[in-house]
Amino acid sequence: MGRPVMLYLVCAILAFWSSGSLVTAEDAYRYYTWTVTYGTASPLGFSQQVILINGQFPGPKLDLVTNDNVILNLINKLDQPFLLTWNGIKQRKNSWQDGVLGTNCPVPPNSNYTYKFQAKDQIGSYTYFPSTLLHRTAGAFGALNIWQRSVISIPYPKPVGDFTLLIGDWYKYNHKVLQQRLDAGKNLPFPDGVVINGQAHPSFGGDQGKTYMFRISNVGFKTSLNFRIQNHKLKLVEVEGSHVIQNTYDSLDVHVGQSATVLVTFDQPPKDYYIVASTRFTEQVLTATAVLHYTNSRTAVSGPLPAGPAPKDVQWSLNQAKTLRWNLTANAARPNPQGSFHYGKISVTKRFVLANSAPLINGKQRFAVNGVSYVNPDTPLKLADHFNIPGVFGLNSIESSPSGVSPHYGVSVLSTSLHDFIEIVFQNNERSLQSWHLDGYDFWVVGYGAGQWTQASRATYNLEDALTRHTAQVYPNSWTAILVSLDNQGIWNLRSAIWEKQYLGQQVYLRVYTPTRSLANEYDIPTNVLLCGKAVGKHP
Ligand SMILES: *[C@@H]1O[C@H](CO)[C@@H](O)[C@H](O)[C@H]1NC(C)=O
Ligand SMILES: *[C@@H]1O[C@H](CO)[C@@H](O)[C@H](O)[C@H]1NC(C)=O
């Protein structure tokens, strides 16, 4: 028996044991072919160019069950290179499929790439979206829902139906026009509107007396949104894979890149009601309205729109964020309670303080982390690492805490080891809200605080029941602290979810490394890997 076969067997046995239950022999395989094209739609009421997947805008909804294997052939019919990334999908041992420019070569026009990944160890509402250029401002995003396996009980009754609400700010400008503006060193203009599922006024219907699940994701570009439904309460049940304490809210802040799942009982008189998503922390408030229609209603929507928090009230948002907590007795994707993992008792082995800034470099607007404004090399870091290609990135490319270096371009890689337990403090000394996303992981959001983080700030951390999520906001002139258990080898993008900032350099990669190559820790390079840059001609 050859060595790779042996390793596969060992992996399979380990996987069987660690699943902790009598799973069926085979996890399902789901096959998709997605063709990406330009098309037209009217999200703001007039026709404009958008990006379609299989003719749909937004893209098709992916409904998966934990452990499903996805084989998805993406065919790019645009005139530009293209990639999709799977927001919040952990891609265990598999940063090969993450779909960002640090891990994958973009799919050239009139070409294709087949993603192969498993939706492992998670249940919840997620999204996918294009990670290339400014494609995200034109569409090709969609919902990615992961349902529980039949052996897992979830902490709420099965709703009679579920709705997906992809909410986000929107521009009337073409993505290429927006890109030219950023390339020229300018900021983006204020968005032109807010849309729900790519529409100005969609409608969602259901029966009086029944309870429905609403999966809400902010797929927008730069603006935090507040979500609410006239006369109805939102019972929060899940946030980016965490089963949370089920508080009820009148409205919910959802920052760019974030998702939340709420249950709504249609417990009001038969009538139609407003669903509202409106911008937060902006001078001018942009609002999208949809309709909640009771099937027995004969009365159209009426009355004033339900009021949200005061537009500039940051404290309201912070207070709400602090109410999001893990339900320690609820199951996660595996049949053990979330609270059985005592994250607060684990020693931190490495610490980073990452400060965002908005410097001008050579007269152009850029965004930076600890002084370094990220530029994508032609060769994905993951391929450079695999093939030992020199000159793509170095491991001393960024300081682990801000040191006052003058802002410059770079390829920033934070160096860590597999099984490190790390603390990252996001220090925001700007007046704008930040939204940070980490690929390949979820992390505990243990603290929010005003001003400068200091060692003493640790005393305020929630080390008991902080929730894990994949995208955390940092309030203006404030900090947010997270803890991450680095159990997933690979190279992972840590970025601003606010795409203008990401595009202009507010991102780094986290290299989670071990010197021994083992299939127990990381899958082998895919046989269909696309090669580009200095990796052209290498043999996977
Ligand atoms: C492109 O699609 C074909 C099937 O149409 C498939 O055989 C091939 O592997 C795909 N290419 C990549 C790089 O995944
Ligand atoms: C926590 O989850 C349990 C299920 O294990 C559920 O019975 C309970 O109601 C939940 N508690 C809260 C406060 O949401």
pLDDT, one tens digit per residue, over 363-392 is 999 999 999 999 999 999 999 999 999 999
Q: What is the pLDDT of residue 1?
A: 32
**399 closest CA partner among 361, 351, 441:** 351
User: Ligand 2 centre and the CA of 328: distance in Å?
Assistant: 8
The rounded mean pLDDT for the chain is 94
The verdict on the CB of residue 33 being under 6 Å from ligand 1 is: no
What gap in Å lies between CA 155 and CA 236, rounded to an integer? 11
Name the band, by pLDDT with cuts 50, 70 and 90, for residue 6.
Answer: very low
Q: Which amino acid is at 255?
A: H
Contacts of residue 269, Cβ cutoff 8 Å, sequence gap at least 6: none
Pocket test for ligand 1, best of 33, 34, 73 (most atoms within 8 A of CB): 73
| 354, 369 Cβ separation under 8 angstroms | yes
User: Ligand 2 centre and the CA of 155: distance in Å?
Assistant: 6
Contacts of residue 15, Cβ cutoff 8 Å, sequence gap at least 6: none
Q: How large is the average pLDDT for residues 216-229? A: 98
Domain residue extents for the chain: 29-146, 161-322, 338-535
Name the band, by pLDDT with cuts 50, 70 and 90, for residue 13.
Answer: very low
The verdict on the CB of residue 73 being under 6 Å from ligand 1 is: yes
Name the band, by pLDDT with cuts 50, 70 and 90, for residue 26.
Answer: low
Name the band, by pLDDT with cuts 50, 70 and 90, for residue 396.
Answer: confident
Q: How far is CA 293 from CA 98, 143, 268, 296, in A?
A: 38, 22, 11, 8
| 296, 212 Cβ separation under 8 angstroms | no
Q: How far is CA 145 from CA 154, 358, 460, in A?
A: 15, 35, 34
User: Ligand 1 centre and the CA of 2: distance in Å?
Assistant: 28
The verdict on the CB of residue 34 being under 6 Å from ligand 1 is: no
458-462-467-472 Cα dihedral, nearest 10 degrees: -40
Which residue's CA lies nearest to atom 5 of ligand 2?
Answer: 330
Q: What is the pLDDT of residue 5?
A: 36
Answer yes or no: same fold for 29-146 and 161-322: yes
Q: What is the pLDDT of residue 540?
A: 83
For 378, the token pair is 């032609």
Q: How large is the average pLDDT for residues 492-516? A: 97
% the chain with pLDDT above 90: 93
User: Ligand 2 centre and the CA of 244: distance in Å?
Assistant: 8
Give the ligand 2 atom nearest the CA of 246. 14
Name the band, by pLDDT with cuts 50, 70 and 90, for residue 12.
Answer: very low
Q: How large is the average pLDDT for residues 76-86? A: 98
The verdict on the CB of residue 528 being under 6 Å from ligand 1 is: yes
Instruction: Return the CATH number of the domain spanning residue range 29-146.
Output: 2.60.40.420
**Domain 161-322 is classified in which CATH homologous superfamily?**
Cupredoxins -  blue copper proteins (2.60.40.420)
Which tens digits make up the pLDDT trace of 155-189?
A: 999 999 999 999 999 999 999 999 999 999 999 99
**HSE-up (13 A, CA, CB side) for residue 299:** 9
**96 closest CA partner among 381, 357, 452:** 381
**DSSP code, position 339:** G
The residue to which tokens 């998702």 are assigned: 259
The verdict on the CB of residue 323 being under 6 Å from ligand 2 is: no
Which residue's CA lies nearest to atom 7 of ligand 2?
Answer: 155
Contacts of residue 1, Cβ cutoff 8 Å, sequence gap at least 6: none
% the chain with pLDDT above 70: 95
What's the pTM? Answer: 0.94
The verdict on the CB of residue 327 being under 6 Å from ligand 2 is: yes
Name the band, by pLDDT with cuts 50, 70 and 90, for residue 106.
Answer: very high
Which residue's CA lies nearest to atom 11 of ligand 1?
Answer: 113
Contacts of residue 104, Cβ cutoff 8 Å, sequence gap at least 6: 83, 96, 97, 98, 113, 380, 382, 530
The verdict on the CB of residue 245 being under 6 Å from ligand 2 is: yes
pLDDT beyond 80 at 402: yes
Which tens digits make up the pLDDT trace of 471-502?
A: 999 999 999 999 999 999 999 999 999 999 99
| 217, 127 Cβ separation under 8 angstroms | yes
pLDDT beyond 90 at 394: yes
Pocket test for ligand 2, best of 329, 336, 338, 467 (most atoms within 8 A of CB): 329
What gap in Å lies between CA 423 and CA 425, rounded to an integer? 7
Which tens digits make up the pLDDT trace of 307-360?
A: 999 999 999 999 999 999 999 999 988 888 999 999 999 999 999 999 999 999
User: Ligand 1 centre and the CA of 74: distance in Å?
Assistant: 9
**475 closest CA partner among 271, 316, 299:** 316
pLDDT beyond 80 at 11: no
pLDDT beyond 80 at 406: yes
Secondary element (H or E) of residue 176: helix 175-183
Q: What is the pLDDT of residue 27?
A: 87
Q: Find the angle CA(69)-CA(471)-CA(452) to the nearest 5 degrees.
A: 155
The verdict on the CB of residue 376 being under 6 Å from ligand 1 is: no
User: Which listed ligand is nearest to 154 at the C-alpha?
Assistant: 2
Which residue's CA lies nearest to atom 4 of ligand 1?
Answer: 73
Domain 338-535, architecture per CATH = Sandwich (2.60)
